[in-house]
Structure 1
Amino acid sequence: MDQGKTPRPGFFRCLQNVVGCAIVLGLFAVCSLQIAGAQSSPVHIRFDADSRVFRIDAANTTYVLGINENQQVQTLYWGRQLAEGDHFSAAKAMPEAASFDLSVNTTPQEFVGWGGGLYVEPDLKITFPNGNRDLVLKYLSHKIEGDQLSITMKDISLDVYVTLQYKADGETGILRRSAEIENRTDAPFTIEQVFAGTWNLPRGTDYRLRYLTGRWAGENTVQEQPVHPGKTVLESRRGTTGAQNNPWFAIDRIGNNDAEDGNVWFGALGWSGSWKITVEQDQLQQVRVSGGPNSFDFDYRLQKGEHFQTPYFYGGYSSDGIGGASRLLHRFEIDSLVPHAPHPALRPVLYNSWEATGFDVNEAGQLALAEKAASIGVERFVMDDGWFGQRKDDRAGLGDWYVNPQKFPHGLKPLIDKVHSLGMDFGLWVEPEMVNPDSDLYRKHPDWVLNFPDRPRTEGRHQLVLNLARPDVRAYVFQFLDKLLNENDIAFFKWDYNRNWSEPGWPAVASEDEKKVYVDFTRNYYSILEELREKHPKVEIESCSGGGSRVDLGVLRYVDEFWTSDNTDAFDRLLIQNGFTYAYSPGVMMAWVTDSPTWVNNRTLSLPYRFLSSMQGSLGIGANLNKWTTEDFATAKQMIAQYKAIRETVQRGSLYRLITPEHDSEQSVTESVARDGHQAVVFAFLHSSMEGYPYPRLYLRGLDAHARYRITAMDGKPANGTPAEASGAYWMEHGLDVQLRGDFQAAAFTLERQ
């Protein structure tokens, strides 16, 4: 993924060896090629040579684009799958609305350069050496190969080529878009803004935008607002994804409050650096959504013969409401994105030592915790911060990745061997992209951090950010991680990242290339992950960034799970996890059971409540087991066993939000249904009873109406009179009554198909 140069295999892999579709004019009006083995693939991409219209059909979605009389690539349709016999007339550029709004602005284009009178958000803006900044792209050619379409465009006079790339997923209908910019001119030019492309929605004035906002310990808050004339910008300028906005959006119709019905257009940007998504309703009510690397403080000089490959921008459509949109994304992520897809391993039950020991780790203490963790059924033991260098607190040691000889005089092997003997695998916390000024690495290489010469170096958490864009820094980070894996039987890295960028300078390169740091840092981050996984295919990795500050579809191609939030208060997590699952699968959402009361709110919650909250995702234990009672261990052992019986359904099944915790709801209810339908799991939570009202009746979803299901309580009780077994129709139409009264109560049930 070497942007601006020949890309490495991986995230920024260009479409190569693409076989063209031969259009035989006069003999065939339509050229249609399907993916090899068409009987097993539902993706169809066709090109009508007469109308010059492309049609992409995948799952329940149809996407149509065409080449209009101005040689612009124009969106014609995106929505529910159309009939096979439905055809589109040739694309027609929209007329100008006035001398102030030329046709280039009113026509819904797939990808447009800044030039020719454009005023809406451009997908590409370039400055040329002579000062020219005008770029007008026209259709040149196209290729179709199975489930992939590429369309090449060129400037009207300059040798600037842009290839639009589309790949359709046959199971979900999700379309992956990207663009490759190529410089065939005789001189370098500077890219000042570049997006993967633009999604155009049908013209309308009644759209609602959903997106996710947050902060440290308060991630994934679902926001809703009408799409107004003008522009809404979702972005991060922090060097990485950030918790303040997440690069995901969903758009439906105002007034549609049924989570399981209605048209929803949704998308997510696969990029872990600074990013931007703009949602723009123009003066003629056309809605456009564009996304890519953030243009703030950014430019990228492209030399003659070089290519720039954008990140992927994923988009999908659901007619089953926001719930259906989430389930499509979940399925796509698990089956197509995560490492080892479409058959990734289930997430093991994990124990992490941080809350028990903090920085004060040593061999004896970790051995004792490992024995306690194994006794309750934990499958992975993870030692957190404090094991390396001169690490006694957060002020020193980052960058010095050798095992501390005072804490572990015999290295990590005795601990790892003990963990293995207890039936668990071993994981380790690392923070590879950071350095403390109080470290041997910084004293040796102070030039390795992001910095502006002769300016202060702002510290966050007493640390600075290594400039991973530098080849020597990239090599150092890979080498020490590779060494750890070569010398120790490590199954898992918790890869942390605990501050955002400041002073993003790169004084080792020419001044006109310094702003490449935003892209080259991220591409080197991906390449390290990719190379580690190629060399150590069994290692698993968690993306962690002070909680959920690096969660996106870009890094999900290289990691197995996300740390959702440092806030592990089980009640707060209902809201945080709810927002997370709008965009990301519960199968990649880590959720820990920690001590009560938590540091966040000083709120006391029962151990069963804390377990049930965490069992809605990938279960981990982070509590200080040294303080647990005999009863705590017994409860934990029972609930972990219960989780193992349902985790495939929770991690891989279809999620229904029966009651969301949004808008200060007193209740929160989720239901997960196994892919084969044999099991459903219901989690119900109550904040506080009010005036003696009973808990709302729960109307289940996703069951086979004609099958019989037997209900079993994992924790809590169904209401008196609830049948032990009933039809799917009964549970969905009559519903389930639950006995929940009091404050901070929870219950969970399984339904097994008979």
Structure 2
Amino acid sequence: MTYQRWTLRTANTSYTVRLSPDGPWAELDAWGPLGVEDGPSALDWSRRTHFITPADAAPAEYLPYGLRPFTGSELVVRGPGEDRGVWWEFDGAEESDGGLRLAFTDEVTGLRTVLCYETVPGTDVILRWTEFTATAELRLERLDSAAVNIPVTGAARLTYLAGQWSQEFQRTQVDLPRGTFTIGSLQSVPGHAYAPWLAVQDGEAAQSAYGVALEWPGNWHITAEAEPGGTVRVRAGRVPHEGAVHLAPGETLATPRLACAFSPDGLDGLSRVWHRYERRLSGDRLHRPRKVLYNSWEATGFDVEAAGQLELAKVAADIGAELFVVDDGWFTGRADDTGGLGDWYPDPEAFPQGFDRFVADVRALGLDFGLWVEPEAVSPGSRLHAEHPEWVYRVDGRPARLVRNQLLLDLGRTDVQDFVIGTLDRLLGAHDIGYLKWDMNRPPTERGRPGAGPADLVDLDAEHVAGYLRVLDHLRAAHPDVTVEGCAGGGGRIEHATLVRTDVVWPSDNTAPLDRLRVQHGFLHAHAPHVMSSWVTDAPGIFDPRPRSLAFRFVNAMCGVLGIGADLRAWTPEQRAEAARWIARYKEVRDVVHHGEARLLGTPDDPTCGVQYDAGDRTVVAALSTGRLDGAPLLPGRPARLRLRGLDPAARYRDTATGTSYGGAHLLHHGLPFAWSAEHDADLVVLRRL
């Protein structure tokens, strides 16, 4: 049997698509390590069907309702007054260097659908998305980005990142022998409950892992279905507001991109694929050192005034911080969370000698200066709301609910976007600000825009996303030297569209040591260390209250981009001296942490876990004790061991602090030894290959 076939190749993988011999659709032929396409397809099937159609059983890349009526489709379309359904024909392929476009047309609806593929150089990521062009008015009730087919021999092991506010990115697993699994968000952001990321393995013991991540900071879903023929089919895409998107004649609409990845080295290897991809997303900005940050929020809350902030800044500078960020509370009317949002002017009472003098005093300490903003929010009592009540999301005749005592601006409006851009330009142009923390603390509730026409014709979710990205793109272009941090009540809006436009993100508002360890463990499965902002604070545990040392808090925070958020005025001289030592050590290794290959060693459920970073001839190991710390050394026992990975077994490695030398095989087989105690529950080891 002959059919058209195309293969996309990344650094280490192949992805082969073919035209199906059974109908007018494309289907996956092979996906895995280079050369996997050389042989009969592992997704081929007997073509015997009962009560379903061949399209329902096929490992199709993308199919509309009409052709695939029973087992789930990626596209549901109807014209005015017409029944749902598209029946298309293949209309040609375009190949380019690292790219592929497969077109399908339906004469009845006039819809042209193009399946788009693009490899990302230097990575093992393939981007997929779909483009629609209409010749007549159409209603798209479902418009997924892609479908991904993964062959399995038994129950599929799904790994996803779940949680809630202050408990984001919890690595969670479920086995799916048959049936449907769905995660998503209708909060206009990815949300705290689930990350738009999923990994699939062929059972618990599978060595390889497949993964998808959706590039979309609005409403979304990822759905995995274990189908009868031994395939897991993953569909992913945005979820349109009001249940549909209208496509006008002559209009072309592109879906969000779905990043698809494969690693033969399981979840840990898959994480490194995502890390390499995100380092590429950072571009030249990757090589700008992420400065050691001090943020004053947990020390002062809304009680922001120049003298107290400068006192904190002086101590922060003394221990080695490089950046001072004033969080919420710096602007007029912001004595608490009931007012001020929208009126973005420094409070003259808080800065009696002027805000510029305050910034200059901070910078005179050798610190860069940063500021917190929440540009999508407005307080009901603010001047902005009094002047522009029409700028908030609302539904005529319905009460406007307050979340965190605030409303949400309709960022899909160009006048609101222009206001936000003008506000940020004014702040960054008038004051010497080198760091901007963009926060969002409430999702839209009454999602309407009175006067904009029929509600079902307005794509509010996509318009908000477009406005958000327009503002971030402007910040990048107009203020390229400003570092931008993304935050949404912690980790509520973290995905690739945000990451490519920001420098760091804030995974969670929870900074307690053992709680934060679990957040970061899950986060590093999907995202790179150089984007993970993490603070050292005095916060007690919310979910795991067991105490941990200051060293534990520092080593944990040093696994990403180090920050400090504790009230340094309350620290003893000994604590400040210890902090200064840790910050100095971090500065020596942050290039390895941010640019190196990261390996997750164990999990927070193990008595000892950690992260290993390798770059050049250096290996950095952040080791943390999560188990009981009593008993030792009164009772006999051996040191805990953390087995390293990826080293040369024939090489030798020297601990730069102690001078101890290890053979690579020893570190791989036995591991690094750690003698934990209540006073010593974390360590940072730097090994240099001899």
Calculate the TM-score normalised by the size of structure 1: 0.87
Residue matched to 1:704? 648
Structure 2 distance, partners of 1:731, 1:698, is 8
Partner SS, residue 247 of structure 1: strand
**5+ residue gaps, structure 1:** 1-48, 718-722
Residue matched to 2:221? 276
Contact kept, 8 Å, 1:93 with 1:103, in 2: the verdict is no
Residue matched to 2:614? 673
Please show how residues 365-444 of structure 1 align to structure 2 within 5 Å: 365-444=308-387
Whichever residue aligns with residue 130 of structure 2, its letter is A
Cα deviation, 1:424-466, whole Å, max 9, x if unaligned, reads: 2111000011111121111222221111111111111101111
RMSD after superposition: 2.3
Partner SS, residue 497 of structure 1: coil
Residue matched to 2:25? 72
Residue matched to 2:304? 361
Match of residue 55, structure 2, among 78, 86, 104 = 104
Aligned CA distance change for structure 1 residues 205 and 602 (closer, same or farther; 3 Å): closer
Residue 572 of structure 1 and its aligned partner are, at CA, apart by 1.2
Residue matched to 1:340? 284
Please show how residues 141-152 of structure 1 align to structure 2 within 5 Å: 141-152=92-103
Residue matched to 2:12? 60
Match of residue 644, structure 1, among 582, 587, 599 = 587
Match of residue 154, structure 1, among 98, 105, 124 = 105
Cα deviation, 1:644-690, whole Å, max 9, x if unaligned, reads: 1111112222222222114xx3332222222x243332423233147
Residue matched to 1:509? 452
Residue 695 of structure 1 and its aligned partner are, at CA, apart by 4.4
Structure 2 distance, partners of 1:262, 1:420, is 51
Residue 697 of structure 1 and its aligned partner are, at CA, apart by 2.1
Structure 2 distance, partners of 1:96, 1:501, is 48
Partner SS, residue 688 of structure 1: coil
Give the stretch that moved more between structures: 686-695 or 352-361.
686-695
Residue matched to 1:134? 85
Whichever residue aligns with residue 303 of structure 1, its letter is A
Give the stretch that moved more between structures: 320-329 or 160-169.
160-169
Residue matched to 1:451? 394
Aligned CA distance change for structure 1 residues 603 and 90 (closer, same or farther; 3 Å): closer
Structure 2 distance, partners of 1:601, 1:206, is 32
Structure 2 distance, partners of 1:747, 1:192, is 53
Residue 206 of structure 1 and its aligned partner are, at CA, apart by 2.9
Residue 88 of structure 1 and its aligned partner are, at CA, apart by 6.7
Whichever residue aligns with residue 97 of structure 2, its letter is G
Matched pairs, number? 685
Residue matched to 1:16? none
Residue 280 of structure 1 and its aligned partner are, at CA, apart by 0.8
Please show how residues 553-702 of structure 1 align to structure 2 within 5 Å: 553-595=496-538, 597=540, 604-662=547-605, 665-674=606-615, 676-689=616-629, 692=635, 693-702=637-646
Structure 1 distance, partners of 2:43, 2:630, is 59
Whichever residue aligns with residue 441 of structure 1, its letter is L
Could you tell me the percent identity over the aligned residues?
A: 36
Aligned CA distance change for structure 1 residues 113 and 94 (closer, same or farther; 3 Å): farther
Aligned CA distance change for structure 1 residues 510 and 51 (closer, same or farther; 3 Å): same
Structure 1 distance, partners of 2:542, 2:303, is 19
Alignment of 1:745 onto 2:681: yes
Structure 1 distance, partners of 2:453, 2:227, is 39
Structure 2 distance, partners of 1:123, 1:605, is 48
Structure 1 distance, partners of 2:283, 2:341, is 28
Partner SS, residue 340 of structure 1: helix
Whichever residue aligns with residue 214 of structure 1, its letter is G
Contact kept, 8 Å, 2:241 with 2:459, in 1: the verdict is no
Aligned CA distance change for structure 1 residues 249 and 91 (closer, same or farther; 3 Å): closer
Whichever residue aligns with residue 3 of structure 2, its letter is S
Whichever residue aligns with residue 696 of structure 1, its letter is A
Contact kept, 8 Å, 2:126 with 2:259, in 1: the verdict is yes
Structure 2 distance, partners of 1:695, 1:730, is 15
Contact kept, 8 Å, 1:189 with 1:303, in 2: the verdict is yes
Partner SS, residue 423 of structure 1: coil
Whichever residue aligns with residue 99 of structure 2, its letter is Q
Aligned CA distance change for structure 1 residues 406 and 599 (closer, same or farther; 3 Å): farther
Contact kept, 8 Å, 2:292 with 2:562, in 1: the verdict is yes
Whichever residue aligns with residue 131 of structure 2, its letter is E
Alignment of 1:95 onto 2:38: no
Whichever residue aligns with residue 164 of structure 1, its letter is L
Cα deviation, 1:378-424, whole Å, max 9, x if unaligned, reads: 11111111111211100001111112122124543112222222222
Alignment of 1:727 onto 2:670: no
Please show how residues 483-522 of structure 1 align to structure 2 within 5 Å: 483-513=426-456, 515-522=458-465
Partner SS, residue 246 of structure 1: strand
Match of residue 178, structure 1, among 129, 136, 144 = 129
Partner SS, residue 687 of structure 1: coil
Contact kept, 8 Å, 2:610 with 2:621, in 1: the verdict is no
Contact kept, 8 Å, 1:649 with 1:681, in 2: the verdict is no
Structure 1 distance, partners of 2:201, 2:281, is 25
Whichever residue aligns with residue 667 of structure 1, its letter is T
Structure 1 distance, partners of 2:476, 2:31, is 36
Contact kept, 8 Å, 2:17 with 2:27, in 1: the verdict is yes
Residue matched to 2:153? 204
Alignment of 1:244 onto 2:193: yes
Residue matched to 1:82? 35
Contact kept, 8 Å, 2:592 with 2:618, in 1: the verdict is no
Partner SS, residue 154 of structure 1: strand
Match of residue 291, structure 1, among 236, 239, 261 = 236
Cα deviation, 1:222-253, whole Å, max 9, x if unaligned, reads: 11111232210111111111010111111113
Calculate the TM-score normalised by the size of structure 2: 0.95
Structure 1 distance, partners of 2:622, 2:305, is 41
Aligned CA distance change for structure 1 residues 743 and 245 (closer, same or farther; 3 Å): farther
Contact kept, 8 Å, 2:161 with 2:522, in 1: the verdict is yes
Residue 513 of structure 1 and its aligned partner are, at CA, apart by 4.4
Residue matched to 1:51? 3
Partner SS, residue 267 of structure 2: helix
Cα deviation, 1:173-211, whole Å, max 9, x if unaligned, reads: 2101111111122xx222111111111112532320000
Contact kept, 8 Å, 1:339 with 1:560, in 2: the verdict is no
Structure 2 distance, partners of 1:96, 1:437, is 63
Contact kept, 8 Å, 1:434 with 1:463, in 2: the verdict is yes
Match of residue 552, structure 1, among 495, 509, 515 = 495
Cα deviation, 1:518-573, whole Å, max 9, x if unaligned, reads: 11101110111011111111111111111111111221111111101111001211
Alignment of 1:120 onto 2:63: no
Match of residue 215, structure 1, among 164, 178, 193 = 164
Partner SS, residue 161 of structure 1: strand
Alignment of 1:311 onto 2:256: yes
Whichever residue aligns with residue 432 of structure 1, its letter is P
Residue 117 of structure 1 and its aligned partner are, at CA, apart by 4.9
